[in-house]
């Protein structure tokens, strides 16, 4: 009886040691991988939400006929850069996990799928970043052309018998980022504008 009790105690001790080793392994995996990955994932979601909010404002601005500013694009580029770094750090940790799970087929496959999903998202983010950087480079040229077109149309209408249209006045205000109403004045031939003042504003 004492022998059987001793064997039982030994078995219980061995089982406790195995459980303890498994708990230590789990705690270590949580500390090294799972908790950091969870934090990174939450941070990535916050960045996605912020970028989406910026894009919503830009779309609303465009719907009102106003071209998004360079600052808006720069904010998107900055957010995207942070998202890229976040996913690269995630994949570094996942890659290390894949090595440790190389003998666990199911776990390895799960990690590999997440790794590849992150790679696809990275490619998409880098592509978007190139587009936004190009949009920033194109902005000055586009703005100068838009201003030139608005002035040309306005000068033609000022010289006409009917004067400036409401559309042209609104376009001038938009291109100059706001303009004093004193620039415009009403005549028998419609609404006119101080040409010299417009030209000074265009040169400044």
HEC assignment per residue over 3-48: HHHHHHHHHHHHHHHHHHHHHHHHHHHHHHHHHHHHHHHHHHHHHH
Q: Are residues 116 and 85 in the same domain?
A: yes
Distance CA 115, CA 109 (A): 10
Domain boundary among 109, 139, 169: 139
Q: Look at residue 117 in the predicted model and tell me its pLDDT.
A: 95
Q: Are residues 168 and 132 in the same domain?
A: no
Give the residue numbers spanning the domain of 34: 2-139
Q: Are residues 115 and 61 in the same domain?
A: yes
Q: Are residues 88 and 128 in the same domain?
A: yes
Q: Are residues 38 and 78 in the same domain?
A: yes
pTM of the predicted model as reported, rounded to 2 decimal places:
0.59
Q: Contact, 114 vs 93, CB < 8 A? A: no
Per-residue pLDDT of the chain (204 residues; tens, 9 = 90+): 465 665 555 556 555 555 555 555 655 665 557 778 888 889 999 999 999 998 988 888 777 777 777 788 889 999 999 999 999 999 999 998 888 888 889 889 999 999 999 999 999 999 999 998 888 777 654 455 566 666 677 767 666 766 767 777 777 676 665 566 777 777 777 776 766 776 666 655
In a domain, 147, yes or no: no
Distance CA 28, CA 33 (A): 8
In sequence order, what E strands does the chain have? 184-187, 190-193
Q: Are residues 18 and 119 in the same domain?
A: yes
């Amino acid at each position: 009886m004492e022998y059987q009790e001793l064997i039982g105690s030994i078995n219980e001790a061995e089982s406790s040691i195995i459980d303890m080793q498994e708990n230590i392994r789990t705690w270590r995996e949580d500390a090294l991988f799972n908790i950091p990955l969870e934090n990174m994932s939450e941070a990535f979601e916050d960045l996605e939400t912020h970028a989406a909010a910026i894009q919503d404002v830009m779309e609303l601005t465009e719907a009102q006929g106003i071209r998004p500013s360079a600052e808006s694009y720069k904010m998107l580029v900055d957010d995207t850069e942070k998202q890229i770094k976040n996913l690269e750090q995630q994949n570094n940790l996942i890659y290390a996990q894949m090595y440790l799970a190389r003998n666990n087929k199911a776990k390895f496959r799960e990690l590999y799928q997440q790794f590849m999903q992150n790679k696809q998202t990275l490619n998409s983010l880098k592509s978007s970043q190139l587009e936004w950087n190009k949009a920033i480079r194109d902005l000055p040229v586009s703005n100068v052309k838009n201003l030139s077109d608005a002035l040309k149309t306005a000068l033609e209408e000022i010289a006409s018998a009917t004067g400036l249209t409401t559309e042209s006045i609104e376009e001038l205000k938009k291109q100059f980022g706001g303009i004093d109403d004193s620039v415009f004045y009403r005549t028998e031939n419609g609404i006119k504008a101080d040409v010299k003042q417009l030209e000074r504003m265009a040169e400044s």
